[in-house]
Every structure is written in structure tokens, then in C-alpha cells.
Amino acid sequence: MKKKVRFSLVYRDMWQSSGKFQPRKDQLARIAPVIIEMGCFDRVETNGGAFEQVNLLAGENPNEAVRAFCKPFNEVGIKTHMLDRGLNALRMYPVPDDVRQLMYKVKKKQGTDITRIFCGLNDVRNIIPSIKWAKEGGMIPQATLCITTSPIHTAEYYAAIADQLIEAGAAEICLKDMAGIGQPALLGKLTGMIKKNHPDITIQYHGHSGPGLSMASILEVCNNGADIIDTAIEPLSWGKVHPDIISVQSMLKNEGFDVPEINMSAYMKARSLTQEFIDDWLGYFINPANKHMSSLLLGSGLPGGMMGSMMADLGGIQAAINSLRKQKSEPELNTDDMLVALFNEVEHVWPMVGYPPLVTPFSQYTKNIALMNLLTMAQGKGRFVMMDEAMWGMILGKSGKVPGPIAPELVELAKAKGKEFTDTDPHTLYPNALDDFRKEMDENGWDYGQDDEELFELAMHPEQYRNFKSGQAKKNFLSDLEKAKVAKMSKSIKPEELAAFKHAKADAVVSPVDGQVFYEFHGDGEGISCLEPSIGQQYKDGDILCYVQATWGEFIPIPAGIGGRLVDIAAKKASHVRRGDTLAWIEREQQ
């Protein structure tokens, strides 16, 4: 019998790699005991990058969700872990030191045991402060190596970084193969090198399935000393996500490793519950393409977790490029054409910007540069014309040192634009901010929360938290959900059937006069807005739906009937209507 190998369920990352949102607090509380019942997991990923932000976007309190999810695992001794983006902590842009330091105190109090600290550039300056703060907060610091394949990223390169992180106090090392493009032989060699130099260090492997190398990589790292393997469960395993626990356990068991058994009855319950969450609402925000694996990912190195947003972005660029091609009488490009073009452009751009490992946020920056290049080249303007400050920040060193040299072409372009390169330690560029956020909470009368967790949430996600507190986030989410449901339904039934379905239980609101429709009005002909309300918006008896400016100039208020939920809009903003035309449909509240 070979050494013992343990398993972790990356329940948070399963959802992030599949779609936009995470399960609600009540759903997480329901599935936690079933995960425990499966009996095969030593660890569970309970929160981290993207988890809390999207909870806020859904109008949910992420602190309550983290506590509810962690509690059952804490009680039975299953370790919980989170994903931590180092300098960026839980968001996409840098976080001041005092906010990062507070994070570890808050997360430990909420029940998170381990923080997986990574820097997308593998710059130890962005990781080492977090190792210190995590230990001070009582958490186990797991330092991360972001794996990619390039002439620079050798086993020796990574092993030297691991040495620095362990010397700085990291108790564990994670090999984060976020795009699944790490070559199995390199991963096995690297695991063996770290174990040889640091035999007592725990090594955890995290590999996505996108291009199909993950199972071979798991076998290689285990045969070279890895201790813990990240896995997923159906119906969200494989595709752009992670290998399924059943397959991983079977492979390692037959290889002779000491692995835990799986309670298959509990597995099926967890599988069923996860599908229930998908059917309930989460599935409306999951791109079906994320269930597919693709060898094309090996060339571009883009991670599975960004495929959904990338395809949405690609659609917009495709329309713009095809419009230009149509003007030139050139054949239009289909989605496959665009995908290959984008992957090829990423391959071209990536070495020029210094081979940053393609993980959040640098995968987005590199992909965005490539996307903009496709558009500007189609316009005849060449490359690197449309780059924002975030893209330039990566190139200039404001987020850390990129592994390789920047192409001379970009160095010259930076000089021409008056931009300066820097080797300053990134975290020193961002002043402390907690005092300002305390002042804001005091002025609003907001409670700091248990263990200052609400203060932390505002400081970490200011805009999202403010929208959450005002209730606007929930309204926006319900509107987005309604639109997603309608969009999904519209693909399966005829337009006239869809309209009949939406209007069946709703009352039509009609215009009493000929005129032009406005959906907001601020009086005396001043400040008229054409902003439409959101589908799903609620109205009370007596509320105004909109105004119609009659042909003689008077603004006529249009009541929303006796109130209810807006299910469809017939008269778009600023449109002209005739007397008797339907403006919208409002479904009455059930009595």
C-alpha cells in the first residue's frame, strides 16, 4: 500500500467555473451535512475569491453564508479553506494592507481554517505579507504556485519560489493548475523537488479538466508525494471544472494509494441537491459550453473559470468585426472562427506581455488585450491601440513583476504614452483605508457586524456592499433572473407562445392618449429620464408606472393598476404610442 492521499471538495470553485453565482445561505446549509455524510473529504472549499462578491450581487449577506456553510464542517473536524488573491484579496484589484490584515481575523472567526494565498504573477512580495497576517489571525497559510507552461516556467523556477514561501512561514504549498495546462511530467517533477527539500510540507494539487490533462497530472503528483487532491462532484464535475471524486478515488485506489471510501448514497444525495440548486435558479447563469472540454485550451492557456465571460465578450466583438467585414464585402466570421482567432491572438500577445500565468486577474487582462487587438486590427489600426489602465498596470509592474521580459514594441509604446515602469513593492502603493470605511459606516448608522465582518465587507467590496445595503442589488438580481428565465424559455417556444405565457396572469396597462413614453419624471419638464424599470419590479396600489407626454405637451401619469410585479414592457423608453396601446403587463400579487 502506497502513502495516504486525502481529498478536498472545491464546492465554491465548482460553481465559479460553471457560471456566475454561488448557492444561497440556505442551500449551502442544506448540502453541508450531505457532504460530510459522503465520508471521503478531508477538506471543503467554503468561500474565497468571487464567492462573497457574487453573494452581494445577488442581494445576499456573504458573511452569514460563510458562517452557515463552515459551521457543520468545523463541528466534525473537516478543514475548510478559501481562495485568497494575495494583493487583490477577494476582488479583482489591489486591496490596502489594513483591509487584507482584517480579512484573516474575520475569516478565522467565521470558521475558515486555511487560506490559499496566490499571486497571478507568482510574485512572492504579494504573498509573503499574507502569510504573516494569516498566521496572526489564526489561519493556516497555504502558499500557491500558479502553474502554466512557458519557456520560463520550469520545475526549477517554481521550486525556488516554493523555497522562499516556505521560509516565510507557509505551512502548505498548493499547485494551482487553474487552466489545466500544466504538463503532468513537470508537475510530478516539481512535487518531488518540493518534497525532497521540505518533506514535512503538505502539498495540495488543484487542476481543472478543461484540456484533458488533469487525471494524468493527479497520478503524477501523487506518485511524487502530493498529499491532497482537489475534486468535484456531479453534475458540475469535468468540463471546465475539476475531475469527479469517483474517478479520482478509483484511479488512485487501483494505483495502490490509501484513499478513503465514498458513501455512494450520500454522493447521490449531494448530486441531486446540486442539480436542484441548478434547476431552482443557478442554472440560468451557467453557460452550457462550460460543460465541454477542449484541447484548444492547451494553446492559449486560458483558465476554465473565465470561459463564460469570455464567450459573452467574444460575441460582442464578433458582431462589431462582422459589421466591418460586411462593409468590405468579406465573409462573416462564425463563433468557431472567432474562438480560434482569439486563442491565436492570446498566444501571440502572451509572450509580449511577459508570460504572466493566466489566472485572475491577469488572464482577464491578457484576454482583453487580445480581444481589443482583434477589433482594432479589423479596423485597420493595428495592435495595442485600446488598452485600459488595468492592462497597462500589469505590463508596467504595478501589480507585481511579470516573469518574462516585456516586448520592445510595448516598452517603446509605453514611453510614447508617458507611462513609467516600476519595481516598487506593489502593496506599498495602496494606503490604509479602514478609517474611511469606519467613518462611512458611522455616518450611515451601519453596524460593524460580528467580529467586524460587515466593516470588512464594505472595505473589500465597496460598491457591491452599498448596493446590497440599499436593496438595489436584490432588485437588479431579480430583474436579471427574470430576464434569464425569459431568455431560456424563448429558445424553446415560439415568440407568440412566450408572450401569451408572460401575459396569461397579468393585467395590461394601456395608454389613455397618443404621445411619447417616459419611465421617470422629476417635475416641471425638468430631469425627464427614459430609464426603463426592471422586469420583476414591484409596484403598490397607486404607484406610477410611467408618464405619457400627450401631443399637446402635458405629461399624463400612468398608474400601475392595483400594483403587482412587472412581467413585460410593450412600450420601450421614448417610444410613441397611440391611445389604447398596451404599455406593460403587471401581474397581481397572489392573495
DSSP states of 524-561 as a string? TT-S-B-PPPPTT-EE-TT-EEEEEEETTSPEEEEE-T
Residue 573: what pLDDT? 83
241 grid coordinates? 471544472
CA dist 511 and 579 (Å) reads: 5
CA angle 210, 232, 271 (to 5 degrees): 120
Cβ-Cβ contacts under 8 Å for 447 (sequence gap 6 or more): 441, 454
- Does residue 570 contact residue 518 with C-beta atoms inside 8 Å? no
CA dist 66 and 417 (Å) reads: 45
| Cis-peptide, bond into residue 403, ω within 30° of zero | no
CA dist 248 and 237 (Å) reads: 11
Query: Strands 506-510, 582-587: parallel, antiparallel or unpaired by DSSP?
Result: antiparallel
What element of type H or E holds 254? helix 245-254
Q: Give whole-number Cα distances, 461 to 51, 64, 95, in Å.
A: 12, 16, 10
Residue 288: what pLDDT? 85
532 grid coordinates? 426603463
Residue 471 phi, psi (nearest 5): 90, -5
CA dist 189 and 201 (Å) reads: 16
- Does residue 314 contact residue 335 with C-beta atoms inside 8 Å? yes
Cross-strand bridge partners of residue 192: none
Residue 196 phi, psi (nearest 5): -65, -40
Residue 494: what pLDDT? 66
- Does residue 568 contact residue 502 with C-beta atoms inside 8 Å? yes
What element of type H or E holds 485? helix 472-492
**Quick one: which of 80, 82, 137 has its CA closest to 111?**
80
Residue 369: what pLDDT? 92
Residue 247: what pLDDT? 98
Q: What is the dihedral of CA 255, 261, 267, 269, to 10 degrees?
A: 170
293 grid coordinates? 472540454
Cβ-Cβ contacts under 8 Å for 69 (sequence gap 6 or more): 25, 28, 29, 32, 46, 47, 80
> Any idea which residue has 507557509 for its cell?
170
Neighbours of 297 (CB within 10 A): 23
Q: What is the dihedral of CA 35, 37, 43, 44, to 10 degrees?
A: 10
Pick among 3.40.50.880, 2.40.10.120, 2.40.50.100, 3.40.50.620: CATH of 502-587? 2.40.50.100
pTM for the full predicted model: 0.81
- Does residue 285 contact residue 17 with C-beta atoms inside 8 Å? no
Residue 62: what pLDDT? 96
Counting as low any pLDDT under 50, the low residues of the chain are: 522-528, 591
| Cis-peptide, bond into residue 462, ω within 30° of zero | no
**What percent of the chain is modeled with pLDDT above 70?**
94
Residue 313: what pLDDT? 73
- Does residue 217 contact residue 272 with C-beta atoms inside 8 Å? no
Which string of DSSP letters, residue by residue, matches 429-471?
A: GS---HHHHHHHHHHHT----GGGHHHHHHHHSHHHHHHHHHT
In sign, the C-alpha dihedral spanning 104, 110, 111, 117 is: negative
Residue 423: what pLDDT? 93
- HSE at residue 65, side-chain half, CA atoms within 13 A, is 23
Residue 591: what pLDDT? 45
**Which amino acid is residue 7, in one-letter code?**
F
**Quick one: which of 179, 237, 335, 168 has its CA closest to 7?**
237
Q: Give whole-number Cα distances, 88 to 261, 348, 361, 377, in Å.
A: 38, 27, 9, 32
CA angle 250, 252, 256 (to 5 degrees): 115
Residue 555: what pLDDT? 83
- Does residue 190 contact residue 175 with C-beta atoms inside 8 Å? yes
The three-state (H, E, C) secondary structure of 321-343, written as one string: HHHHHHHCCCCCCCHHHHHHHHH
**What are the tens digits of pLDDT across the range 107-123?**
999 999 999 999 989 99
What element of type H or E holds 234? none
- Does residue 129 contact residue 482 with C-beta atoms inside 8 Å? no
CA dist 276 and 22 (Å) reads: 13
Domain boundaries, the chain: 297-428, 433-470, 502-587
- Does residue 570 contact residue 583 with C-beta atoms inside 8 Å? yes
